[in-house]
Structure 1
Amino acid sequence: MRFLPIAFCALAALTALPAVGQPVEKMAWLAGCWQGHFGEPGTVEQWLAPAGGTMLGMSRTIKQGKTAEYEFMHIRQLPEGVLAFVPQPNGRPPTVFRLLRLGESDALFENPEHDFPQRIHYARPAESRLVASIEGMRNGTMRRVEFAFSRVSCDAQAAGPGNK
């Protein structure tokens, strides 16, 4: 069991596709509604299916009954043919993270010039599970933060925890 994460990473590396020339449709595995396990009910991330050359996403983190953080995101192909993940956390200006590696159900994006994080990774280890992580140097120390999600019905999320 100890070797399962190593085997998963090795398999992902073997099946990873080159970063250039990948259409956004290769990210379709990310589409759907995902309930976060790191906040209160209502903590979600939702991704629309690929269409028109983009995937649109949004997230919301609830703490003490209030929205503590939110983020608008999109994935699109840059003019040079590389996919990019472009987040806008809490209304800040967008930051471009270029695709470094794309597998069957995982993607690694990087922006070495960004303060923190420099890498953003999405992996779907099972149909009903999603793990997102951010990592990079912060104040001279390597830091990694992981966010675990479970797939939920988008209709259930539309109702919200207090709107049923």
Structure 2
Amino acid sequence: MKLLVTLLFAASPLAHADPLAPLAWLAGCWAQQGREAGSVEQWMAPAGGVMLGMARTLKQGRVVEFEFMQLRAGADGQLVYIAQPQGRPPTEFKLSSQGEAQAQFDNPAHDFPQRVSYRLVAPDSLVARIEGTMNGKARGIDFPMQRTACP
């Protein structure tokens, strides 16, 4: 009987559901509010078990910051946010909290930030946040963004 239940579950659509589907609201292009035009974060829709993202910040027409990001299942099957700011080696943050329109990822061993989160505040408005301790002091930085057309 146990084998039959296992086989039935393995054949069901739920067994193969994309773990990134609940984060599909993040897909698209997001203009950074209060930043120079062209300062954007862009996420591809979930496919193949991965969401790929990239961001750039412009100042006086020049790129001053950039980052490559991934959302995927880690080796243990738990969702992870992988950040590569300025092309540095990747840092993983494990999913610690997820709601209908929010996700939080933590890595307490990282220098700063130790937490990365995204929260959809309206269909066209998003706040990304990094937080943690730096030099013994708690610090948090919000990045409000508006949905924009992808070029």
TM-score of the superposition, structure 1-length normalised?
0.80
**Number of paired residues?**
135
Runs (5+) with no aligned partner, structure 1: 1-20, 159-164
Given candidates 113, 127, 137, the residue that maps to 2:123 is 127
Q: Which residue in 1 is equivalent to 2:57?
A: 61
Q: Which residue in 2 is equivalent to 1:88?
A: 84
Q: Displacement, 1:24?
A: 1.4
For the Cα contact (< 8 Å) 1:130–1:149, is it kept in 2? yes
Q: Deviations over 1:5-26 (max 9, x none)?
A: xxxxxxxxxxxxxxxx981122
Q: Which residue in 2 is equivalent to 1:141?
A: 137
Large movers: runs of 4+ above 3 Å: none
Structure whose residues are more often strand by fraction: 2
Runs (5+) with no aligned partner, structure 2: 1-16
For the Cα contact (< 8 Å) 1:73–1:85, is it kept in 2? yes
Distance in 2 (alpha carbons) for counterparts of 1:26 and 1:84: 14
- Is the radius of gyration larger for structure 1 or structure 2? 2
Q: Deviations over 1:16-40 (max 9, x none)?
A: xxxxx98112210100100001320
Given residue 95 of structure 1, which amino acid in structure 2 is its aligned partner? Answer: T
Q: CA RMSD, aligned part only?
A: 1.3
TM-score of the superposition, structure 2-length normalised?
0.87
For the Cα contact (< 8 Å) 1:115–1:138, is it kept in 2? yes
Partner SS for 2:94: strand
For the Cα contact (< 8 Å) 2:18–2:49, is it kept in 1? no
- Aligned-pair identity (%): 52
